[in-house]
């Protein structure tokens, strides 16, 4: 699986076949990957399954800590939601590869539909979404969901950019630059969640209605 993570991340999901993964992993039995994963999509799901449950478990724990504190703010909710994903930057077991793969999935509707096989990873009625609804109660639901998808894409693409940029910097400067990007990312996500929709957007929502 580690070979597949690296290839999908560096060469692109659409640019890698199961045969290429087999050759790169020095797997003599060409049908072994098909036997274990069924298809390339099955292999990608296995990669997602390797990382996503841990992220969700940590996220739910951090969210509950915020909710139990009695001092619930949008910034705290967002930080709790994305911190486990940010930690993938330092995960030596394919963490950055995972970020790059999900960023690709978020950029392609047909690839993103892969998550339909794992609806629990993108639930619209979990603790995170309930907290966001409470904190952005005036936001039309359709617009909120659109913005959450934009935020999802921004999160993963920004973390991939951070990984690429900081890999080329000295260690001390690396840490400062990384933190700057993360803090600005949180500012940007808060803006997405709270910015009042324009008259033009409200008009389009009404027409779509």
Question: What's the pLDDT at 20?
Answer: 87
Q: What percent of the chain lies above the pLDDT cut of 90?
A: 62
Question: What's the pLDDT at 29?
Answer: 58
Written as six digits, the tokens of 204 are 């389009």
Question: What's the pLDDT at 167?
Answer: 82
Give 149's contacts (C-beta < 8 A, 6+ positions apart): none
Phi-psi region of 198 (alpha: psi -120 to 50; beta: other; left: phi over 0): beta
- Residue pointed to by tokens 């076949």: 17
Helix/strand/coil percentages in the chain, nearest 5:
80, 0, 20
Residues 83 and 15: their CA atoms lie apart, in Å, by 30
Question: What's the pLDDT at 30?
Answer: 59
Q: In the chain, which residues have pLDDT < 70?
A: 27-30, 32-35, 123-125, 169-172
| 122, 55 contact by CB (below 8 A) | no
Question: What's the pLDDT at 27?
Answer: 63
Question: What's the pLDDT at 33?
Answer: 67
Domain extents in the chain: 59-197
């Amino acid at each position: 699986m580690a070979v597949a993570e690296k290839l999908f991340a560096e060469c692109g999901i659409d640019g890698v076949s199961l045969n290429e993964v087999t050759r790169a992993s020095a797997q003599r039995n060409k049908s072994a990957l098909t036997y274990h994963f069924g298809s390339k999509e099955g292999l990608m799901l296995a990669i997602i399954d390797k990382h996503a449950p841990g992220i969700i478990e940590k996220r739910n724990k951090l969210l509950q800590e915020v909710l139990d504190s009695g001092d619930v703010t949008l910034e705290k909710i967002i930080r709790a939601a994305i911190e486990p994903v940010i930690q993938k930057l330092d995960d030596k077991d394919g963490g950055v590869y995972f970020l790059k793969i999900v960023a690709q999935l978020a950029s392609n509707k047909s690839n993103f539909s892969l998550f339909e096989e794992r609806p629990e990873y993108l639930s619209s009625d979990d603790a995170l979404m309930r907290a966001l609804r409470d904190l952005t109660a005036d936001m039309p639901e359709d617009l909120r969901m659109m913005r959450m998808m934009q935020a999802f894409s921004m999160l993963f693409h920004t973390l991939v950019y951070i990984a690429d940029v900081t890999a080329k910097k000295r260690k001390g400067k690396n840490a400062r630059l990384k933190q700057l990007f993360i803090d600005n990312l949180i500012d940007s996500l808060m803006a997405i969640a709270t910015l009042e929709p324009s008259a033009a957007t409200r008009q389009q929502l009404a027409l779509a209605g």
